[in-house]
Amino acid sequence: MKIFCWIACVALTGIALSAPGGAKAEDRRSVIMANTCYSCHGADGHSVGAMPSIAGKSADYIVEALLKFRDGRKPSTVMARIAKGFTDDEIKALAKHFARQ
């Protein structure tokens, strides 16, 4: 009975922390954004062609690369045009998502 209370307390805490609805939709939007990358960079970021793989790259690497593409500090053929489609917050969310993989 007492162990049940412990488990119930922790479980309820877990539910409250995961904050369903709004937070879940935000997490899913990170996934939706990452999914747009896979058409060129391969399933889950494992490229099978000339594009570099993004799987396993650190969050810092992703953020820096996208920001540099976006403002032209890093030359590109298409990535500047793509990176300009993402805000700072979206880039950070993307990087956090890739870091979790």
Q: Across the chain, which distance is largest between two alpha carbons, in Å?
A: 64
Check residue 22 for interaction with other proteins (CB under 8 A): yes
| Amino acid type, 80 | A
The Cα-based distances of 46 to 38, 51, 61, 78 in angstroms read 8, 9, 16, 19
Q: How far apart are CA 75 and CA 78, in angstroms?
A: 9
Interface pick for other proteins out of 66, 86, 95, 98 (rule CB under 8 A): 86
Given the complex with other proteins, which of 58 and 81 has the nearer CB atom?
81
* Residue 11 sits in the site that holds other proteins (CB under 8 A): yes
Q: Which residues bind other proteins (CB under 8 A)?
A: 2-3, 6-7, 10-15, 17-18, 20-22, 24-26, 28-29, 31-33, 35-43, 46-51, 77-78, 81-86, 90
